[in-house]
Amino acid sequence: MFAVVDILGQQFKVTENTKYYVPKLTQEVDAEVSFDSVLMVGDDKATKVGTPFVKGTKVTAKVLEHLKDDKVIVFKKKRRTGYQKSNGHRQQLTRIEVTKIG
Residues 17-71 pLDDT 10s: 999 999 999 999 999 999 999 999 998 899 999 899 999 999 999 999 999 999 9
Q: 52 lies in a domain? A: yes
Query: What one-letter code names the amino acid at 79?
Result: R
Q: 48 lies in a domain? A: yes
Sort residue 36 into left (φ over 0), alpha (ψ -120 to 50) or beta: alpha
- Cα dihedral: 50, 33, 90, 8 (round 10): 30
Among 46, 57, 65, 56, residue whose Cα is nearest residue 4: 57
Predicted TM-score (pTM) of this structure: 0.82
The domain tally of the chain equals: 1
CB-count burial class (<10 Å; 0-12, 13-18, 19+) for 14:
buried
Residue 24 lies in domain:
2-66+97-101
Q: 19 lies in a domain? A: yes
Q: What is the reported pLDDT for 102?
A: 87
